[in-house]
Amino acid sequence: MEKRFENKTAVIVGGASGMGLLAAQQIASEGGKVIIADINQENAEKCAADICAAGGFARGIRCDVRQVAEVEAVRDFALAETGSLDILIHTAGGASQRMCNAPGPFATRPYEVLDWGIDVNLKGPLYFSRAVIGTMLEQKRGVIILLGSIDGVTGSAMSCDYSTSKAGLIGLTKSLALIGAEHNVRACCVSPGPVLTRPGMAGMKTPMNRAAEVQEVVNVLLFLASDAASFITGTNYLVDGGRACGAQEYR
């Protein structure tokens, strides 16, 4: 098997579930050292233990991306355990109305639910980028990959704070690319349409008449994290089955 990540350390934020977990498993299977940082400490440690049992290198650590001290502790942990920090994939996040069980429309959504959405989906990636970029600039290598969403490109009537935060990640990506470019540090955003990380996503429409398999997004994450993407930075990748093409029925 190809070993694209040998001698590299990848921090996967939100790596105890979904796209982050599959990315962590596959980076480890290709020789990378993986740090799984997640607010669910038990799952993070279990996922890391499973990777180790399969012959890979992984560590799990609790991290709430809203807490700067915990974010910085993940960076320090990665450096202490492995000696470098080459890849950051920030997948932690989700639509606030689902995560906070507040399904009503924007006009009545509690303000603290909006805060949750911005804190986790925008400020978390901002904090993590801030925490790791100094190390990457010093190393003269690194790549930061942020998980956006198609909602950040098209807008979303149901997910106003979510689309706001995910759109913000596109600006953050471009800014990180400009900071890192001359130091061999890259940044990319990946904006999926519906992904089958849970059964409910199967009902979301795309022109391809289906949601993405988790692997179809992770393929892009791993490509962008690898040296094969060495001249790609500042870009937002849509992995959406054509959902952003404009037709109202797909929104």
Ligand X SMILES: NC(=O)c1ccc[n+]([C@@H]2O[C@H](COP(=O)([O-])OP(=O)(O)OC[C@H]3O[C@@H](n4cnc5c(N)ncnc54)[C@H](O)[C@@H]3O)[C@@H](O)[C@H]2O)c1
Residue 127 is among the residues annotated as catalytic for this protein: no
Q: From residue 237, give the alpha-carbon distance in Å to each of 21, 69, 80, 138.
A: 20, 30, 32, 27
Q: Which is nearer to ligand X, 141 or 250 (CB)?
A: 250
Structure tokens at 114: 């909006």
> Please, what is the minimum distance in Å from the beta carbon of residue 195 to ligand X?
4
Cβ(136)–Cβ(142) under 8 Å? yes
147 contributes a contact to ligand X by CB under 6 A: yes
Q: How many helices (H) and strands (E) does the chain have?
A: 9, 7
Closest contact distance (angstroms) between CB of 184 and ligand X is 26
Q: How far is the CB of 96 from ligand X (least distance, A)?
A: 10
Q: Min. distance of Cβ 18 from ligand X in angstroms? A: 2
Residues 31-50 within binding reach of ligand X (CB under 6 A):
38-40
Strands ordered across the beta sheet of 185-192: 57-62, 33-38, 9-13, 87-90, 142-147, 185-192, 235-239
Residue pair 89/95 in contact (Cβ under 8 Å)? The answer is: no
- Which one from 127, 162, 237, 250 is the annotated catalytic residue? 162
Angle at 111 between CA 109 and CA 115, to 5 degrees: 115
Question: Residue 137, interface with ligand X (CB under 6 A)?
Answer: no
Residue selected from 26, 82, 96, 149 as contacting ligand X according to rule CB under 6 A: 149
Q: Of 56 and 192, which CB lies nearer to ligand X in the complex structure?
A: 192
Where does this chain bind ligand X (CB under 6 A)? 14, 16-20, 38-40, 63-66, 91-94, 120, 147, 149, 192, 194-195, 197, 201
Positions annotated as catalytic residues are 162
